[in-house]
Structure 1
Amino acid sequence: MMRKKIITSILFLVVLQNLVSAQSRQLEEIDQLFNTKSYALAIKGYKNLIEKGISSYDIYKKLGDAFYLNANYIEASKCYAKLFNYKDITIDPEYIYKYAQTLKSAGNYEESNTRMQEFETIKKQDLRVAKYSEKQNYLDEIKNLNKKYTVTNLSSNSAESDFAPSLYKDTLVFASSRDTGLLINNVHDWNNRPFLNLHTAVRNDSLDYRYHSNFAKELNSKTHESSTVFTKDGKTVYFTRNNSENGKFSPDKNGLSRLKIYKASLENGSWTNITELPFNSDDYSTANPSLNYTEDKLYFASDMPSSLGASDIFVVDIKPDGSFGNPINLGKKINTEGRETFPFISDSETLYFASDGHPGLGGLDIFYTNLQKEDRVLNMGKDINSREDDFSLIINETENKGFFASNRPNGYGSDDIYTFIGEPLIHFETVRIHGKIVDKVTNTVLPNAKITIYDYTTNNLFETYSKMDGSFEAEIQVPEKKYRFIAKLEGYDATVLYLRSPSVKENIKDVVMLMGKENSKSGTSVGSDLTNVLQLKSIYFDINSSYLRVESYPDLDKVYQFMLEHPELKIEVGSHTDSTESDTYNLWLSKRRAKSTVNYLIGKGIDASRITDVGFGETQLLNECSNGVKCSDDKHSKNRRSEFIIVNE
């Protein structure tokens, strides 16, 4: 009997030892998946162990990280909470911070603040602590922001991840992991989703976009591509791609394929000369490029050795010969020990970026600061930001609208692209200018000239008349807004002056507008409208469409021939609508129509530098047919017109 018990005990110990050994090997295999960034598979493995009753501090920490890095902050928070049950282990302060962050996504801001105070006592020198201490009332500050936005989820989104929007001409280009049937079973172990490729969407109406197609098959590979930015002439693109060779991942010593920024040029309708930028490395990542207005600086995110945290924002000079300077870290005002990523630099030198190091609502929030004025870093507010990840914002500050991505609830998929429109972030100040109308031959002043001033930012018109001494006054705004002054007087050719206000409030020198005697024969004086000079008919479009109709081609060919005969001239194509649709829609439609007209002339061979487009919508009606006024279609048709104004820019 005793012998049987001994044998049974020995067999039990052998089975137990084999079981423990098998579990140990299984844990090692799962840890290896975690270490090689196969987080989706690691999550499945760790959860399987926990379901079997096997858990530890290290398992919960890694499972929490795997959820965190896949932006599943609710599940990550549950895992990090378990760490505090292990009283005999000192918790890494970074996990106290991560727990505080993930608590926000669960809406538990009170407990989050408690954990941040705990983090503060341990890491007094941490930049995130300093920023939290400066803004302990950050929730009230965000709540009380006056900025309001209308946010719309785009119908072009899919059940997969869609993010990193950019504009290429009128097309929305974005990164997506949607399955288009081109790369079967091409799934990334990080998140168990298909690899990212570049896709496009086209506008449905003033706010929505519909999915169109893949963008540039020559740029898409079997690795990830995302985060594009295009030069204004549309001939160069910078984009993010995994470090790869012959279309396959090139891992570093830890098995991780780093991100790199690449550059490509458009030749004969195809993207070619795909080259990586010289400051890339196999040992760290560079990603999410953004160009400044003058296209001589490139902003990007990186974890290169000089980074303060998980990723920082950098800037590098683009030299006139196309070479690059040395990347510069934007410093402690912008960067923290956390994640700063997805920079976008606007025309006003305002930097927009995503961060989980600055106090926010949860996950990544979007912040902004003007680099020229050294403004504070400010949160974009609760319409743009949520408890989840909000990132990759681009904005047109002139039109006060843009796009961003978010994995907030009730979307189409894991990350969705949203469009927004709202109040301007730039606050303009008014300055008064003094002008004078003068005969350009006799140098005598001209009274009673009608001066029409058009504001390109607000689409507002202001009219005034020159006094007996030829002078006039007007108010314009700073910083850096563009205006068009048109002076008209019987017996004289109209004259046009363009003025861009300065970047700061300062005195503006007197504006002098020279007018010459009417010269209807040549029709080549500045301010002349080729519609009258060449006796053009209307430029025809289908209703609610920006596509040119063939009936317009003969008249546009007259403009083309005129420009060939006068190579020194530049023109501005202006498109106008009636008031039968909304103001916003009409403005958008007129811009599209003006651009279509310009593209026709460029396609015929006119240099793009000689012709510009502007849409006026219903801001310059020729009669009383404004909103709410009943008019016949004949009267409305008088406002559906195009202009071809000779300019001096």
Structure 2
Amino acid sequence: MPPPAVAAIVLAGLLASGPPVPLLPGVVDSPDTEVRPAFSPDGRCVLWGSIGAPKTPWRILQTCRDGAGWSRPEAVSFDGPDNDFDPAFSPDGRTVYFFSNRPGGQGGDDLYAVDRNPATGAFGTPRNLGPRFNTPGDEWAPSPTADGRLIFSSDGHGGLGKQDLFEGELAGDAPVRGLGPEVNGPLDDFDATFLADGRTLVFSSGDLKAETRVTLNSARRGDDGRFGPRKVLAAPINCSEAINNGPAVDPRRPGVLFYSAYCPALGPGRMDIFEAPAPTP
């Protein structure tokens, strides 16, 4: 294995000149479906959603650095017998947000948070984010921001289409609000994250039920808080003709965008996680 500095230079060259690169082949990317990685701010661990055979629960897996390599992926301690998916770290690494259809929620898929000890990596007991965020419908892909907000999608808060993107302050009791018609349209708008600039939102849009051309898009937020027009991201992103989703960023590698897609010529599974150069604003 080359030294980290050399490996970073080689990888940067690959990303700049070629197709998307699978994330940790043989560790993260596998014959199963992998979606939406979450990177701990200290760079020690990666979480992601995994879907195995049909009718098996959706799981959240984790790998952590083990010497020069990575540990064998295992389900996180808070992963239960129901569907758990879409993990995301808070900026300080002390909380992981995710969605679950476990009993005791508001209905459908709900948003949850679980405390994490950054020193030991141990997780606490998940807590439901309550009716301000959750509805009898489905809430997905929570994405915490550096200024204390949570971006997520829902089909239960009203909106302009099926799944729409919303944001709400994690502290206080203000109602959540939609991201507006520049982001939300008549189909499914979901799986969003801000790039390192804190203004450029990358999100998935399309018809999930039909599984035809769900693409990654971007929209930039202006000083007035409103988003400019969306645009479909150019190659090498959006390698799949079916579904491209689960965008994510690693705070230690701000120039890279991670996403999930079915691109069988590039990865080993039904959907794999890829990395490509982050789009420029």
CA distance in 1, matches of 2:129, 2:15: 35
Out of 224, 231, 241, the position equivalent to 2:40 is: 231
Structure 2 alignment gaps of length 5 or more: 1-7, 227-253, 256-281
SS at match of 1:241: strand
Q: Judging by fraction of residues, say which structure has more helix.
A: 1
| Partner amino acid, structure 1, of 2:84 | T
Larger Rg: 1
In the TM superposition, 1:137-156 aligns within 5 A as none
Cα gap change, 1:314/1:216 in structure 2, threshold over 3 Å: closer, same or farther? same
Out of 293, 307, 313, the position equivalent to 2:105 is: 307
| Partner amino acid, structure 1, of 2:134 | N
Partner of 1:438: none
Partner of 2:178: 379
Q: Judging by fraction of residues, say which structure has more strand.
A: 2
Partner of 1:217: 25
Cα gap change, 1:202/1:378 in structure 2, threshold over 3 Å: closer, same or farther? farther
Cα gap change, 1:379/1:238 in structure 2, threshold over 3 Å: closer, same or farther? same
Q: Once the two structures are superposed, what CA deviation does each residue of 1:474-527 show, in whole Å capped at 9, x if it has no partner?
A: xxxxxxxxxxxxxxxxxxxxxxxxxxxxxxxxxxxxxxxxxxxxxxxxxxxxxx
Cα gap change, 1:236/1:424 in structure 2, threshold over 3 Å: closer, same or farther? farther
CA distance in 1, matches of 2:29, 2:198: 32
* Identity among equivalent pairs (%): 24
Q: Once the two structures are superposed, what CA deviation does each residue of 1:25-76 show, in whole Å capped at 9, x if it has no partner?
A: xxxxxxxxxxxxxxxxxxxxxxxxxxxxxxxxxxxxxxxxxxxxxxxxxxxx
* Deviation at residue 236 of structure 1 after TM alignment: 1.2
Out of 116, 139, 142, the position equivalent to 1:340 is: 139
CA distance in 2, matches of 1:426, 1:361: 19
In the TM superposition, 1:244-393 aligns within 5 A as 249=53, 256-267=55-66, 270-282=69-81, 284-319=82-117, 320-393=119-192
Cα gap change, 1:277/1:314 in structure 2, threshold over 3 Å: closer, same or farther? same
Cα gap change, 1:364/1:269 in structure 2, threshold over 3 Å: closer, same or farther? farther
Cα gap change, 1:225/1:424 in structure 2, threshold over 3 Å: closer, same or farther? farther
Q: Once the two structures are superposed, what CA deviation does each residue of 1:417-466 show, in whole Å capped at 9, x if it has no partner?
A: 11222315769xxxxxxxxxxxxxxxxxxxxxxxxxxxxxxxxxxxxxxx
| Partner amino acid, structure 1, of 2:29 | N
Q: Once the two structures are superposed, what CA deviation does each residue of 1:251-308 show, in whole Å capped at 9, x if it has no partner?
A: 7xxxx111111111134664323221122123x1100001111111010000000121
CA distance in 1, matches of 2:45, 2:89: 11
SS at match of 1:415: strand
TM-score w.r.t. length of structure 1: 0.31
Cα gap change, 1:425/1:293 in structure 2, threshold over 3 Å: closer, same or farther? farther
Cα gap change, 1:266/1:323 in structure 2, threshold over 3 Å: closer, same or farther? closer
CA distance in 1, matches of 2:165, 2:196: 16
CA distance in 2, matches of 1:339, 1:403: 20
SS at match of 1:383: coil
Cα gap change, 1:203/1:358 in structure 2, threshold over 3 Å: closer, same or farther? farther
Contact 1:309 1:336 in 2 (8 A): yes
Contact 1:346 1:397 in 2 (8 A): no
Cα gap change, 1:226/1:281 in structure 2, threshold over 3 Å: closer, same or farther? same
Out of 416, 421, 424, the position equivalent to 2:215 is: 416
Cα gap change, 1:321/1:216 in structure 2, threshold over 3 Å: closer, same or farther? closer
Cα gap change, 1:425/1:332 in structure 2, threshold over 3 Å: closer, same or farther? farther
| Partner amino acid, structure 1, of 2:199 | N
Cα gap change, 1:237/1:272 in structure 2, threshold over 3 Å: closer, same or farther? same
SS at match of 2:124: coil
TM-score w.r.t. length of structure 2: 0.68
Cα gap change, 1:323/1:266 in structure 2, threshold over 3 Å: closer, same or farther? closer
Q: Once the two structures are superposed, what CA deviation does each residue of 1:172-227 show, in whole Å capped at 9, x if it has no partner?
A: xxxxxxxxxxxxxxxxxxxxxxxxxxxxx9468xxxxx732222112222221111
SS at match of 2:213: coil
Contact 2:195 2:202 in 1 (8 A): no
Contact 1:288 1:300 in 2 (8 A): yes
* Deviation at residue 397 of structure 1 after TM alignment: 7.5
In the TM superposition, 1:151-230 aligns within 5 A as 202=15, 211-218=19-26, 219-230=28-39
Contact 1:258 1:285 in 2 (8 A): yes
SS at match of 1:382: coil
Q: Once the two structures are superposed, what CA deviation does each residue of 1:12-32 show, in whole Å capped at 9, x if it has no partner?
A: xxxxxxxxxxxxxxxxxxxxx
C-alpha RMSD over aligned residues: 2.9
CA distance in 2, matches of 1:426, 1:382: 13
CA distance in 2, matches of 1:360, 1:402: 18
| Partner amino acid, structure 2, of 1:299 | Y
SS at match of 1:391: strand
Contact 1:292 1:349 in 2 (8 A): no
Q: Which has the higher contact order (CA 8 A, sep 6+)?
A: 2
* Deviation at residue 238 of structure 1 after TM alignment: 0.6
* Deviation at residue 382 of structure 1 after TM alignment: 0.9
In the TM superposition, 1:72-91 aligns within 5 A as none
Contact 2:167 2:177 in 1 (8 A): yes
CA distance in 2, matches of 1:293, 1:382: 28
CA distance in 2, matches of 1:404, 1:211: 20
Cα gap change, 1:217/1:425 in structure 2, threshold over 3 Å: closer, same or farther? farther
CA distance in 1, matches of 2:60, 2:143: 15
SS at match of 1:290: strand
* Deviation at residue 323 of structure 1 after TM alignment: 1.5
CA distance in 1, matches of 2:196, 2:174: 17
| Partner amino acid, structure 2, of 1:314 | Y
| Partner amino acid, structure 2, of 1:231 | S
Cα gap change, 1:313/1:400 in structure 2, threshold over 3 Å: closer, same or farther? same
CA distance in 1, matches of 2:23, 2:223: 31
Contact 2:153 2:189 in 1 (8 A): yes
SS at match of 1:278: coil
Q: Once the two structures are superposed, what CA deviation does each residue of 1:597-630 show, in whole Å capped at 9, x if it has no partner?
A: xxxxxxxxxxxxxxxxxxxxxxxxxxxxxxxxxx
